[in-house]
């Protein structure tokens, strides 16, 4: 299943909450700051980490 962020994306802020197009909601659990604006970027969640297309690395997340 291909997942996308539901709406605009401005990057990781340290405590980012991400809503995906499948309705799932995730919270960033490791500190990382990286700004990048995108609209509905592609997302992969695997092994407790989320990689957002265009970002430098996967970030640990937890489903809410």
Query: For residue 13, how many other CB atoms are within 10 A of its CB?
Result: 13
pLDDT tens for the chain, 64 residues long, are 689 999 999 999 999 999 999 999 999 999 999 999 999 999 999 999 999 999 999 999 999 9
Among residues 45, 54, 50, the alpha carbon closest in space to that of 16 is found at: 50
In the prediction, which pLDDT does 13 show? 97
Residue 24: per-residue pLDDT: 97
**Residue appearing with tokens 């197009």:** 21
Domain ranges of the chain: 3-63
pLDDT recorded at residue 2: 82
pLDDT at residue number 37:
98
> CA 54, 34, 8, 15: dihedral to nearest 10 degrees?
130
Pick from 35, 57, 41: nearest CA to 3: 41
Q: Of 1, 6, 28, whose CA–CA distance to 19 is shortest?
A: 6
């Amino acid at each position: 299943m291909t997942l996308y962020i539901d709406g605009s994306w401005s990057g990781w802020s340290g405590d980012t909450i991400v809503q995906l197009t499948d309705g799932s909601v995730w919270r960033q659990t490791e500190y990382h700051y990286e700004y990048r604006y995108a609209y509905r970027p592609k997302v992969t969640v695997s092994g407790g980490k989320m990689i957002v297309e265009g970002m430098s690395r996967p970030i640990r997340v937890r489903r809410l």
